[in-house]
Amino acid sequence: MPSPQFLDRFATWVADRPDTPAIRWREATITYRDLDALANAAARELVSAGLRGDDRVGVSAGKSPELVALLIALWRAGHTVMLPSHDLGSAALRMLAKAAGVTRLVTPSPVLSETTEPVGVHHVPSAGDSLLILTTSGSTGVPKLVPLSPKGVDNFMCWAAGTFDIRPGAQVLSCAPLNFDLSLLDVWTTLASGATTTLVDPRFATDGSYLAHTLDTEKITMVQAVPMVYRLLADLSIGPIRFPSVRHLVLTGDATPPKLLPELVRMFPRARRYNVYGCTETNDSTMYEIIDTTERKLPIGSPLPGVHTQVISCDGDVVEGSGSGELWVSTPFQANGYLDPIATRERFVRDPADGNTVFYRTGDVVYRDDDGVFTLEGRTDFHVKVRGARTNMAEVEHVIQRHPDVREVAVVAVPDELAGNVLHAVVCRREGSSLNSLKLREVCREGLARTAIPTTITIVEEALPKTSTGKVDRKAVLSRYTERI
């Protein structure tokens, strides 16, 4: 929870309950006192590395207690921190750092290596009082930068701690990488609440038996994860397969496969189960408590307390009562906009009715029933979820298209039980070129997050199928090329 209030509350726990475990990591315990000491050590390293008070800092690192401590140290010193995906390619990272006005890139201890000054930062866009800038998939080839508002994150911390009983004694599992907004709950709300967060080792994040062992031995009380994690657990037949310590279970980030629903009750017999919907820009917006075991498409539920919603038809009209349209939300947790004011104007709109409420256009198409319960129907653009990460297929195409030997490219998504979606790229190469999938993977590696790199890249010589308006026909691409994969 990157806010002055978070730092105050964390300091209170360090003073009042220094021996309480703050983090469990690879079977070691880091108490609140230990974490405070790590943060102090990181602060000293930052000073000796010559970090200036007005530096805007980029941190790209895998999840670890040292990274948590480094972020606390940076916030204490008043730095605004950009935290992009750790597996972002180096070219994409440099581009993002430049767009964010990042003047220093740092990595956590034990060796605070390579504090480098990226070249060409001329302009540091205002981030207001934000201490943390997260990234989210954009449509122009560069992820959008979301400076979180401290007031928004304080509101979120208050709601999440109360709803999921996050307080001293709670054991919260942290599955997601630290740059995902899910960590606002798993890590930062936990540390603001005197509870313990168990960090899933990123090396084993998709290893079902490791996850089961962790849930069991750490006596986890609260889990929030994408459906894939529960699928990995449900597929196990040996080792721990029931987790009665779990009291609150949140599914989020993706549609849940209907077959998984009865399995959740089997695995988590004492947990309240919720489907939660939100995005980085607004944080959690709607929630649905699952009280049965019926195999069906889950609703995303009703607006959380303080959340306002509107459903806007494709003609731009407000839908009253039941009906379908794009979901607009206004939450007590939301960011004030993107770092880029032009992007902000596109997605954050003021309600013409009261001129006051700022709605975020989610780009998600929903159906609202007579009781005000929402169900997700799809996207208005080219976004899909891949292993829980929102991925813009247009952006993947854009990156592949940059290779000079690419004549045309289409990226399509095929639904997958485990990954949510699997991406396939079909590339028509220039005549006579020797372009192959390995060369294109190098391009993807430089410019995309790991989850956005297509699983298969098929090279063809013939032109891709087109619609009557001359655009690449993704449906035809899907049926012509992906059926033989």
Partner 1 sequence: MPRSDEIKAWIVRNFAPDVDPADLPDDYDLLASGLISSLSLVRLVSGLAAEFDVDIDAADLRPEYFRSVTSITEFVGAALQPQA
Q: Quick one: which of 127, 453, 464, 472 contacts partner 1 (CB under 8 A)?
A: 453
Residue with smaller CB distance to partner 1, 351 or 416: 416
In the list 136, 206, 324, 482, the residue contacting partner 1 (rule: CB under 8 A) is 206
Calpha distance 225→139 (Å, rounded): 26
C-alpha distance from residue 130 to each of 28, 81, 272 (Å): 32, 9, 33
Contact flag: residue 454 with partner 1 (CB under 8 A): yes
Phi, psi of 99 (to 5 degrees): -60, -30
**Residues binding partner 1: what is the number (CB under 8 A)?**
23
Binding piece for partner 1, criterion CB under 8 A, among 93-101, 108-116, 445-453, 464-472: 445-453
Compute the least distance from the CB of residue 385 to partner 1, in Å: 14
> Do residues 80 and 86 touch, judged by C-beta distance below 8 A?
no
Under rule CB under 8 A, residue 387 binds partner 1: yes
Of 209, 245, 375, 401, the one binding partner 1 by CB under 8 A: 209
Which helix (H) or strand (E) segment is 368 a member of? strand 358-368
CB burial readout 74-91, b (16+ within 10 A) else e: bbbbebbbbbbbbbbbee
**Segment lying near partner 1 (by CB under 8 A), choices 38-46, 348-356, 365-373, 444-452:** 444-452
Cβ atoms of 157 and 189 closer than 8 Å: yes
Stretch that binds partner 1, among 32-40, 192-200, 206-214, 248-256 (CB under 8 A): 206-214
Segment interacting with partner 1 (CB under 8 A) among 66-74, 324-332, 453-461, 469-477? 453-461
Among 165, 207, 340, 405, binds partner 1 (CB under 8 A): 207
The residue (of 271 and 419) whose beta carbon lies closer to partner 1 is 419
Handedness of CA 63, 65, 68, 73 (dihedral sign): negative
| Contacting residues for 462 by C-beta, under 8 A, at least 6 apart | 428
The encoded tokens of residue 130 equal 């934000």
Site for partner 1 contains 201 (CB under 8 A) = no
**Cβ at position 405, least distance to partner 1 in Å:** 13
* Residue 38 zone, left/alpha/beta (φ > 0; ψ -120 to 50; rest): alpha
- Does residue 205 interact with partner 1 by CB under 8 A? yes
Residue 253 is a binding residue for partner 1 (CB under 8 A): no
Is there a contact between 447 and 399 (Cβ–Cβ < 8 Å)? Answer: yes
Q: List the interface residues with partner 1, window 73-92 (CB under 8 A).
A: 87
Q: How many residues does the chain have?
A: 485
Task: For residue 11, count CB atoms less than 10 angstroms from its CB and return exposed for 0-12, middle for 13-18, buried for 19 or more.
Answer: middle
Q: What is the DSSP letter of 301?
A: B
Least distance (Å) between residue 60 CB and partner 1: 14
Omega before 150 within 30 of 0, i.e. cis: no
Q: Taking the complex as a whole, how short is the minimal distance between the CB of residue 457 and partner 1, in angstroms? A: 8
Q: Which of 437, 473, 476, 482 binds partner 1 (CB under 8 A)?
A: 437
Which residue in the set 99, 444, 464, 472 belongs to the binding site for partner 1 (CB under 8 A)? 444
| Residue 313 binds partner 1, judged by CB under 8 A | no
Nearer to partner 1 by C-beta: 265 or 485? 485
* Residue 482 token pair: 């992906």
Site for partner 1 in 456-475 (CB under 8 A): 457-459
The contact set with partner 1 (CB under 8 A) reads 87, 203, 205-207, 209, 387, 418-419, 436-438, 441-442, 444-445, 450, 453-455, 457-459
